């Protein structure tokens, strides 16, 4: 990581002009120069569509995760980029699960990367944003196996499900990743059952003997 010191540049030029031979004190790179903030954008109720056997799920809501990393140092931070990280979501309850959301260079919304380098002025922030789905490391949706309430034959609600989210992000090649977040929130999921083509074929027409759960 290269840190721009405008005063140091002037000092070196003056020393050169007056044949200054005094050695400068050793330079120690600053630490703890970045601060992170995590934001989870989640609707009040997350909608999913499924067949009646709950073997196929299709999302009906957008989930957004944003990681913001601010330069809290007094000077410009500039250096080769190494943008990567994760956002982890841990659910609690009788079926705890962990969702790991990858962050890559393509998730960087700002600042732009120029010739492989990132620059952050004092007080300015880098932002990474991504869409995500609540699929846990075991391949199942985060709410599967948790208590639910049937609203009707064609819909049920899971939750509220307590979750905690945190993030590990690296921006610069020579700066270690930082961990931040630790935010807790709840999620409510509504699953709406959509009959498959076979189920629709077997469903009696309206007015015939028998009733369909999809009416």
pLDDT tens figures, 83-133: 999 999 999 999 999 999 999 999 999 999 999 999 999 999 999 999 999
Average pLDDT of span 175-200: 86
pLDDT at 11 over 80: no
pLDDT bucket at 53, cuts 50 / 70 / 90: confident
Residues 6+ apart with CB under 8 A from 27: none
Q: In the chain, which residue ranges form alpha helices assigned H by DSSP? A: 6-17, 197-202
Higher pLDDT among residues 15 and 26, named by residue: 26
pLDDT bucket at 16, cuts 50 / 70 / 90: very low
**Residue 149, strand partner residues:** 157
Q: Which residue in 193, 192, 187 sits closest to 133, CA to CA?
A: 187
User: Domain segments of the chain: what residues?
Assistant: 31-196
Residues 137 and 102 sit within 8 Å (Cβ to Cβ):
no
Average pLDDT of span 43-58: 91
Q: Does domain 31-196 have CATH number 1.20.120.530?
A: no
Cα 180 from Cα 69, distance rounded (Å): 9
pLDDT at 14 over 80: no
pTM: 0.77
The CA-CA-CA angle for residues 98, 100, 102, to 5°, reads: 175
Predicted confidence at residue 29, as pLDDT, reads 59
């Amino acid at each position: 990581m290269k840190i721009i010191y405008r005063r140091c540049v002037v000092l070196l030029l003056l020393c050169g002009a007056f044949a200054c031979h005094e050695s400068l004190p050793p330079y120690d790179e600053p630490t703890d120069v970045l601060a992170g903030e995590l934001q989870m954008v989640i609707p009040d109720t997350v909608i999913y569509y499924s067949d009646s056997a709950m073997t196929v799920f299709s999302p009906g809501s957008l989930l957004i995760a944003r990681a913001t990393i601010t330069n809290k140092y007094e000077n410009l931070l500039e250096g080769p980029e190494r943008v990567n990280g994760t956002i982890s979501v841990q659910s609690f309850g009788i079926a705890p699960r962990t969702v790991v959301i990858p962050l890559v260079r393509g998730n960087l919304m700002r600042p732009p990367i120029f010739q492989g380098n990132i620059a952050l002025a004092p007080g300015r922030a880098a932002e990474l944003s991504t869409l995500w789905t609540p699929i846990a490391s075991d391949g199942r949706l985060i709410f599967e196996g948790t208590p639910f309430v049937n609203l009707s034959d064609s819909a049920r609600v899971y939750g509220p499900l307590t979750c905690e989210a945190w993030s590990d992000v690296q921006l610069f090649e020579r700066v270690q990743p930082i961990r931040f977040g630790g935010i807790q929130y709840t999620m409510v999921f509504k699953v709406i059952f959509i009959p498959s083509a076979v189920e629709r074929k077997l469903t009696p027409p309206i007015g015939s003997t028998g009733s369909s759960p999809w009416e």
